[in-house]
Structure 1
Amino acid sequence: MSDDEELEKIRRRQMEELQRQAMQRQMAEEEEKQREIEKARRQQILRQILDPSARERLNNVRLVRPDLADNVENQLIQLASMGRINRIIKESDIIDILSKLTENKREPKIERRSK
């Protein structure tokens, strides 16, 4: 094999690698764009069904328990998409929902034993 053939082979491999990387980058960008669209859709639905204080409460919960906030949001979005929410959800409603979701959790009990 001549040097020219080897050089051409190396160039071809490099070109294929660059094309593959470009394709992966493009797919990642498309996935990110889809995530952003979905996030915007979710936020739009939540803006329609939650009053500002309820949204603020849910955002505060997200700081401490993101899984719980996601769970509540998912449930609310699902109910809204099924047409089962016929009024604006207030902060007190969010508090009720949160308390019902967390009431089954056992609180750790700390006992002090004196000597």
Structure 2
Amino acid sequence: MDELEEIRRRKLMELQAKREKELEELAKQQEMQRQIEMQKKAILRAILEPEARERLSRIKLAHPDIAEAVENQLIALAQSGRITKKITDEMLVEILKRIMPKRRETRIIRK
């Protein structure tokens, strides 16, 4: 009976150690994700004027996938040195017009 208890205790300790290791990995991933997000915000703050940054944050609320794509594209352009001046709100609107999917117009015809 003591042998069985010892096996159970060892198995429980192994499971606890494995769980702790998984939690540490998760914490590391979350910290890395937070640092990446902070770097993205810093780059966007440097290349966008306040009005454009505000518009992008509003778009992020309504269309997070589109906003993420625009942010990644702007960051890539900035890192490659292709953005030479700050992006204004008007410039951002033009970029969004190119990226946003065309809306289908619904017309109701009454007969």
Q: Tell me the TM-score normalized by structure 1.
A: 0.91
Aligned to 1:30: 28
Q: Secondary structure of 1:107's match?
A: coil
**Structure 2 gap segments, 5+ residues each:** none
1:108 matched to 2:88? The reply is no
Alignment RMSD: 1.1
Q: Which has the larger radius of gyration?
A: 1
Aligned to 1:77: 75
Q: Tell me the TM-score normalized by structure 2.
A: 0.94
* Matched pairs, number: 111
Q: Distance in 2 between matches of 1:42 and 1:60?
A: 17
**Structure 1 gap segments, 5+ residues each:** none
Per-residue CA distance 1:63-111 (angstroms, 9 max, x = gap): 1111111111011000000000000111111111111222x52423232
Structure 1 residue 46: deviation in Å? 0.3
